[in-house]
A = this chain, B = another copy of it.
Amino acid sequence: MSEEGLYSQLKRFVVGKPIPSHLAEHERLSRLTGLAVLSSDALSSVAYATEEVLRVLVVAGAAAITFATPIAFVIAAILAIVVFSYRQTIHAYPSGGGAYLVSKDNLGEMPALIAAASLLIDYVLTVAVSIAAGVAAITSAFPDWHVSRVELALGFVLILMIGNLRGIRESGRIFAVPTYFFIFMMLLLIGLGVWRVLAGDVRPLASSLEPPAGSTEASLSLFLLLTAFSNGCTAMTGVEAVSNGVPAFKPPESKNAAATMLMMAVLSITMFLGITLLAQSYHVAPSDTETVVSQLARGVLGSRGALYYAVQAATMLILVLAANTAYADFPRLASILARDRYVPRQFMNQGDRLAFSNGIVGLSILAAILIVAFAGDTHALIPLYMIGVFVSFTLSQAGMVVRWRRQRGAGWRSNAAINALGAVVTGIVLLVVAITKAHEGAWVIMLLIPLNVLFFRMTRAHYDGVAKQLSMKGWRSAGPRRNTVLVPIGGIYRSVVEALEYAKTLSSDVRALYVNIDQGATGQVQKEWETWGGGLPLVVLESPYRSLMEPLLEYVGQVSSAHPNDYVTIVLPEFVPAKWWHHLFHNQRALLIKGALLFKPNTVVTSVPFHLRH
């Protein structure tokens, strides 16, 4: 271990070199890179949204499948409404308008905390769902790997965690390639598929669609249709990302962000409708082992050739990128919440990346737990995903309505109407999701959101209490105080004598303490003290129970009760081994003494490092 110290080394290793403030400007996003960085979450959800619709409908038999088309068009319409609603947020909050900030600004503390709780949960699920779906893309292409999907998913979480710990700054350039690769492959697939349909050259994958083996055919009910619709709304997840990231754009920030959001919406709707319609033309049947996109790619491309594998690779890559967006969003929101004292201050960004590291590690652990608990199954995770997303959508749009009403600027009525439409529509979706998905696991989220809010408020109450205790109000100095310095010694060693040398600089009242367990040893120490004690008094403490600690603590107690207003300082030598594992060879007695005296007022325990050379 060099003298540079543990901290710097550790930090550099884990989080990379620090970045000076004036560099940040250079890394602003253009529309094209902005689309790549901020829309992977929204675009990637088309990889599983169609499948989630079909899985529900197929239970009611082949005829029900045709309902996928109207459902997809309703979802596309809602997506358009949401995007127009969010474009107004972009212009109103050029410094970034996440649901928490908008709610806090316009609706008050409680809605803001509900939005924050929903968003944090949403980010964890973004990681879990996107990685599970990305792994499904792989295992569709390589069915042998299906048994290892949990391990694969955990591997991706680990890669994302380490990558983000080492620096998320580089991500702008990394994102562009796979995002555009995915867009290109999807449009190619859809284009080819549509061309074949128009040319009448479709070879259906299944002769007729049957419900999964073993399940009894359900009748087509309203509830079933609403469930299918809820599932399809996953296509909307992630659309808010652009509005959070406005300040990351090149100037004019709001204009560029709004244009990017429009592009994203057009692409998202095109792909979702395309895949949903083609899936019906090609008679794609949802399966536990192969994704709908993979089946569709096989159907359109005829076989598992190079293009097929390219589609799967592109799907996998964009889904991993989508997971990665949560790695930027989660620590950012946690940092904002920490600044407002709703989460522990360890998450607050204070100049270096350490705070973000806490968020990154926390996010990874939570996502890994979800992946293991749900066996890496996208379908099982989806019901949990939607509640958080639509709570934050609804609150964010509702907040905008309040804002327009309050500001009453030019044209505020039409602006308010757009956001009100967005709020009402997403609120209805939220209700539908809550009703159709509660029994599939969404109840967990309905429980977790209030629990999170409770935690936020408890944290805030704690910090408020601390702030009160830290206030200088009413404080006055107790005047000059004495400091009695006690040095417990176990014998006459160089470490002990050096601690005494240090103690002598602290006070004129320094006393060495020795616990008498063995009379012979005590006599020897008393004799050597004459040579090495430097004229300081040596106090010998008796120990009827052969304990070293109790007599020391008792003596400290006596000294402080004699002068309760004065300080008592206990100075201890502390071995600093040359190699960290040498700690195993030495007692942590200093730690025990410190622990025993931690709650004693006006008592300070100081360790004087003694550096072992080997």
Given contacts A1-B599, A7-B596, A482-B505, contact A585 B463 (CB under 8 A): yes
A480 to B502, CA, bound (A): 10
List the one stretch of A134-142, A235-243, A369-377, A488-496 in contact with chain B.
A488-496
Whether B547 contacts A6 by the Cβ 8 Å rule is no
Whether A20 contacts B494 by the Cβ 8 Å rule is no
> Chain B nearest CB: distance from A43 CB in Å?
34
Whether B507 contacts A595 by the Cβ 8 Å rule is no
A483 to B483, CA, bound (A): 15
A534: B residues at CB distance < 8 A: 477
Interface 1/0 per residue, A584-599 and B, CB below 8 Å: 1111000011011111
> Chain B nearest CB: distance from A522 CB in Å?
14
Whether B549 contacts A7 by the Cβ 8 Å rule is yes
Given contacts A345-B586, A582-B462, A585-B344, contact A472 B501 (CB under 8 A): no
Whether B483 contacts A517 by the Cβ 8 Å rule is no
A3 interface residue, CB < 8 Å from B? yes
A407 interface residue, CB < 8 Å from B? no
A608 interface residue, CB < 8 Å from B? yes
A502 to B485, CA, bound (A): 12
List the one stretch of A219-227, A270-278, A538-546 in contact with chain B.
A538-546
> Chain B nearest CB: distance from A27 CB in Å?
16
Whether A596 contacts B6 by the Cβ 8 Å rule is yes
CB < 8 Å neighbour of A18 from B547, B596, B600: B547
On chain A, the number of residues with a Cβ less than 8 Å from chain B's Cβ atoms is 84
A600: B residues at CB distance < 8 A: 3, 5
CB < 8 Å neighbour of A601 from B345, B584, B611: B611
Whether B598 contacts A5 by the Cβ 8 Å rule is yes
Whether B517 contacts A351 by the Cβ 8 Å rule is yes
A604: B residues at CB distance < 8 A: 502, 606-609
CB < 8 Å neighbour of A470 from B494, B532, B593, B601: B494
CB < 8 Å neighbour of A469 from B5, B7, B483, B494: B494
Whether B3 contacts A545 by the Cβ 8 Å rule is no
> Chain B nearest CB: distance from A485 CB in Å?
9
A586: nearest chain-B partner, CB-CB: B345
> Chain B nearest CB: distance from A561 CB in Å?
12
Most chain B CB inside 10 Å of its own CB: which residue of A350, A466, A547: A466
> Chain B nearest CB: distance from A356 CB in Å?
13
A598: B residues at CB distance < 8 A: 5-6, 576, 609
Given contacts A475-B494, A505-B482, A600-B5, contact A612 B544 (CB under 8 A): no
Interface 1/0 per residue, A339-351 and B, CB below 8 Å: 0000011100011
A500: nearest chain-B partner, CB-CB: B477
Whether B7 contacts A548 by the Cβ 8 Å rule is no
A305 interface residue, CB < 8 Å from B? no
Whether A21 contacts B505 by the Cβ 8 Å rule is no
**How many identical chains are in the complex?**
2
A507: B residues at CB distance < 8 A: 505-506
Interface 1/0 per residue, A28-69 and B, CB below 8 Å: 000000000000000000000000000000000000000000
CB-contacts of A571-588 with B (<8 A):
575-576, 582, 584-587
A19 interface residue, CB < 8 Å from B? yes
A352 interface residue, CB < 8 Å from B? yes
Given contacts A351-B543, A492-B472, contact A585 B481 (CB under 8 A): no
A472 to B600, CA, bound (A): 34
Given contacts A5-B599, A483-B506, A599-B576, contact A584 B501 (CB under 8 A): no
Given contacts A5-B553, A463-B585, A612-B466, contact A567 B599 (CB under 8 A): no
A544: B residues at CB distance < 8 A: 20-21
A582 to B458, CA, bound (A): 11
A497: B residues at CB distance < 8 A: 472, 475
A21: B residues at CB distance < 8 A: 544-546
A596: B residues at CB distance < 8 A: 5-8
A452 interface residue, CB < 8 Å from B? no
A614 interface residue, CB < 8 Å from B? yes
A98 to B480, CA, bound (A): 61
A215 interface residue, CB < 8 Å from B? no
A585 to B596, CA, bound (A): 22
A546: B residues at CB distance < 8 A: 18, 21, 350-352
CB < 8 Å neighbour of A545 from B351, B470, B475, B584: B351
Across the A-B interface, the 10 shortest Cβ-Cβ residue pairs: A351-B546, A7-B596, A5-B596, A470-B493, A483-B505, A6-B595, A18-B545, A606-B606, A470-B494, A3-B599
Known: A8-B550, A346-B587, A483-B505. 10 other contacts (CB 8 A): A6-B595, A6-B596, A7-B596, A21-B546, A352-B548, A469-B494, A472-B493, A475-B497, A483-B506, A598-B609
List residues of A whose CB falls within 8 A of some B CB: 1-3, 5-8, 18-21, 344-346, 350-352, 459, 462-463, 465-466, 469-472, 475, 477-478, 480-483, 492-495, 497, 501-502, 504-507, 517, 528, 532, 534, 543-550, 553, 567, 575-576, 582, 584-587, 592-593, 595-601, 603-604, 606-609, 611-614
What are 16 A-B contacts with C-beta separation under 8 Å?
A3-B600, A7-B595, A20-B544, A21-B546, A346-B584, A352-B545, A352-B547, A462-B582, A466-B575, A466-B612, A478-B501, A482-B505, A599-B611, A603-B609, A604-B606, A604-B608
